[in-house]
Amino acid sequence: MSPALASVAAPVPAEHHARLTGVTRVFGARKGTGVHALGPVDLDLNRGEFFSVVGPSGCGKSTLLDVLAGLSSPTAGTAEFEGKPINGVPAGVGVVFQEDASFPWLSVEDNVAFGLRRSGVDAAEVARRVDYAIGFMGLKDFSKAYPAQLSGGMRQRVCIARTLVMQPRLILLDEPFGALDQQTRLLMGDELLRLWRETGATVLLITHALDEAAMLSDRVGVMSARPGLFIDVLETGWPRDRDSRIVSHPRFGELTAHLWDKLRAESLKHLRGS
Amino acid sequence: MRHILGPLLVILAGFLGWEVLHFVVANSSLPSPFETIVQMGVLLRDPDFWKQASQTGYAFGIAVVLSTLGGIALGILLGMGRLAGQVAEPILVNLYSLPKVTLYPVVLLIFGLGISARIAFGIMHGLIPLTLFTMNAILQLKPVYRRSAAVMGLTSWQTAFTVILPAILPQVITGARLGVSLCLLGVLIGEMFAARNGLGYMVTHAMERGDMPTVLAVAVMIAAVALAANGLLLALDRSRQP
Ligand SMILES: Nc1ncnc2c1ncn2[C@@H]1O[C@H](COP(=O)(O)OP(=O)(O)O)[C@@H](O)[C@H]1O
Ligand SMILES: [Mg+2]
């Protein structure tokens, strides 16, 4: 495990790293005609596991992530991180969003250092961690470039590096590779696995790509059409030091087929409903 | 280099068109560029010209500062209060398209004949575009910027100054370019219609005397200042970009 990116030990050891209990989210509930977006959902994330969530679009995946990130509070139910209720963005949680969140007015280097510089960490430590994260994400040659000069995949790397330097113990990713082409997505998946192994962090990945979920995860949660519920949680049984080459393993096909089996009916509901 | 070329081409085209006009207009009441430049030289050595210019510069400066600060502040307020922004936008657009000259007598009634009326009139021209540009910049701000700031643990102040402000800056500068030009317009119109000093007055007065070289010399110098201000803001905008 590399010292520069290793997550700091949790202040409160907890059996479950993050836990959702009966979490429900209704938008515009007060106006009577609310949108029931999510739940009730129960979810236990084990420390250090790689958990993926798949589900038809609009089923409440981003809503689930927002609750875990402390960006929105559940209408009902409780959310906990490291044994404490989530109330506002918890320290130790990092988020990579689907949209390009790199700041166009900052160079790659300054983008990566952005959050860290404002968190009271001393300059030498900032430089050390930024340097490491930039190297780790393969951005060394672009550290002085601006996001406008980079491809979508490179920009998403910048956002991942920006999250990494904060040394999060739980990393939430909301369809981070959704806008990338298939080959780039496979390679980014490998990077994500490498990152997960090196940091020892818990990872929650939201994706619409079943193959991505089957290849990367320890467990995959399958959600129903809105309001999203977990209709299945699948254990993949992959070894920890896996990479994208497992796509040729027969079990990869079985896992993907199983996921599609579960999701087909739900996706049809979404298609007919919209 | 390109941003110097733009204004330069405008000036060149102006002079060419002017030269052509000078020859076409038979009675030649329109002075040639050469006569105008000679008159410019005369004016630049005339202390009275500098007195008038400083009057205009003073009113223009105050109008620019107040409408810039006010426009940005108002734009941020309206942009933050989403509903207020949606209500305000059509009102502002309508106010903006109103011929403001028709309101000048009202301004005079309120502020009297002094310099404050001209400042107010300049602000009336410059404030609204900057407000609109700033407001729209905030309304169109990518939500993911604010969400990123939140997950990186930034305080509201840090978010405002290190995320929102740089994100809206390009549009604010565009609004300021428009606002500055319009401020100058407002101040000059104010001086033309009701004043005993300032460059606008100087132009009207020269016109009454039939002193066309002075009219054109002042007009050209004002145009040069306006183009320079615009070029400066444009350069500022470009310098921030990679
Ligand atoms: N702020 C909001 N107000 C009202 N409805 C919302 C809001 N955010 C999301 N929704 C609705 O909640 C549902 C779930 O959204 P989301 O979590 O973004 O789905 P997913 O990420 O799975 O595509 C969708 O039907 C969406 O339209
Ligand atoms: Mg989503």
Same domain, A134 and A150: yes
Whether residue A75 has its Cβ less than 6 Å from ligand 1? no
Mutate to test the pocket of ligand 1, among A20, A52, A57, A63 (most ligand atoms within 8 A of CB): A63
Same domain, A29 and A145: no
Distance from CA of A95 to the nearest CA of B (A): 7
Domain span at residue A117 reads 104-167
Nearest CA to ligand 1 atom 26: A58
Provide the pLDDT for residue A94: 94
* Confidence class for position A7, pLDDT limits 50, 70, 90: low
Measured between alpha carbons, how far is B23 from B27 in angstroms, rounded to an integer? 9
Averaged pLDDT, A154-167? 92
Residue A250's CATH number? 3.40.50.300
Least confident stretch, A14-18, A55-59, A65-69, B135-139:
A14-18
pLDDT of A30 above 90: no
Q: Which residue has the tokens 């994330």?
A: A45
Measured between alpha carbons, how far is B47 from B50 in angstroms, rounded to an integer? 5
Same domain, A182 and A249: yes
* Confidence class for position A10, pLDDT limits 50, 70, 90: very low
Same domain, A181 and A253: yes
Higher local confidence (pLDDT), A133 or A6: A133
CA of A229 relative to ligand 2 center, distance in Å? 15
How confident is the model over B102-156, as pLDDT tens digits? 888 888 888 888 888 899 999 999 999 999 999 999 988 999 999 999 999 898 8
How confident is the model over A225-265, as pLDDT tens digits? 888 889 889 898 888 888 888 888 888 999 999 899 888 87
Which residue, among A119, A114, A121, A212, has the nearest Cα to A161 in the 3D structure? A114
Which residues of B fall within a CB distance of 8 Å from A91? 153
Q: Do A89 and B142 touch (CB under 8 A)?
A: no
- Find residues 132-191 of chain B whose CB sits inside 8 Å of chain A: 142, 144-145, 147-148, 150-154, 158, 162-163, 166-167, 169
Higher local confidence (pLDDT), A113 or B5: A113
Provide the pLDDT for residue B36: 85
pLDDT of A221 above 90: yes
Under DSSP, the state recorded for A148 is G
Q: Average model confidence (pLDDT) for chain A?
A: 87
Averaged pLDDT, A150-173? 92
How confident is the model over A71-93, as pLDDT tens digits? 999 998 899 998 889 988 898 99
Written as six digits, the tokens of B188 are 């000059």
Long-range CB pairs of B36-42, under 8 A, 24+ apart, other chains included:
B36/B213, B36/B216, B36/B217, B36/B220, B37/B217, B38/B213, B39/B213, B39/B214, B39/B216, B39/B217, B40/B217, B40/B220, B40/B221, B42/B217
For the segment(s) B59-195, the CATH number from 3.10.20.70, 1.10.287.110, 1.10.10.10, 1.10.3720.10 is 1.10.3720.10
pLDDT of A152 above 90: no
Which residues of A fall within a CB distance of 8 Å from B158? 118
- Amino acid of residue A241: D
Of A167, A193, A222, which marks where a domain is finished? A167
Q: Give percent helix, percent strand, percent coil of chain B, each to the nearest 5.
A: 85, 0, 15
Question: Is residue A240 classed as helix, strand or coil in its secondary structure?
Answer: coil
Measured between alpha carbons, how far is A111 from A164 in angstroms, rounded to an integer? 12
Which residues of B fall within a CB distance of 8 Å from A117? none
Averaged pLDDT, A43-53? 93
Provide the pLDDT for residue A13: 47
Low-confidence ranges of chain B (pLDDT < 50): none
Whether cis (ω within 30° of 0) applies to the bond prior to B242 is: no
pTM of this prediction? Answer: 0.80
pLDDT of A206 above 70: yes
Whether residue A111 has its Cβ less than 6 Å from ligand 1? no
Q: Which of B145, B153, B240 sits opposite A89 (nearest CB)?
A: B153
Measured between alpha carbons, how far is A109 from A112 in angstroms, rounded to an integer? 5
Same domain, A57 and A30: yes
Q: How many A-B residue pairs are in contact by the CB < 8 A criterion? A: 54
List the domain boundaries for chain B.
Answer: 59-195
Question: Is residue A213 classed as helix, strand or coil in its secondary structure?
Answer: helix
Provide the pLDDT for residue A14: 44
Provide the pLDDT for residue A5: 57
Q: Are A51 and A77 in contact (CB under 8 A)?
A: no
Percent of chain A with pLDDT over 70: 92
Which residues face A219 on adjacent strands? Answer: A51, A235
Provide the pLDDT for residue A11: 46
Provide the pLDDT for residue B18: 78
pLDDT of A273 above 80: no
CA of residue B147 relative to chain centroid, distance = 36
Same domain, A178 and A192: yes
- Amino acid of residue A113: A
Measured between alpha carbons, how far is A170 from A101 in angstroms, rounded to an integer? 19
Which residue, among A234, A172, A238, has the nearest Cα to A18 in the 3D structure? A172
Same domain, A88 and A159: no
Same domain, A129 and A238: no
Provide the pLDDT for residue B109: 85
Least confident stretch, A3-12, A31-40, A157-166:
A3-12
Mutate to test the pocket of ligand 1, among A38, A226, A263, A274 (most ligand atoms within 8 A of CB): A226
Whether residue A105 has its Cβ less than 6 Å from ligand 1? no
CA of A63 relative to ligand 1 center, distance in Å? 6
Domains contained in chain A, number: 2
Provide the pLDDT for residue B27: 58
ipTM of this complex prediction, to 2 decimal places: 0.85
Task: Return all residues near A45 (Cβ < 8 A) that are at least 6 apart.
Answer: A16, A17, A18, A19, A51, A170, A202, A204
Q: Which residue of A has its CA nearest to B145?
A: A101
For A92: left if phi > 0, alpha if psi spans -120 to 50, otherwise beta; the answer is: left
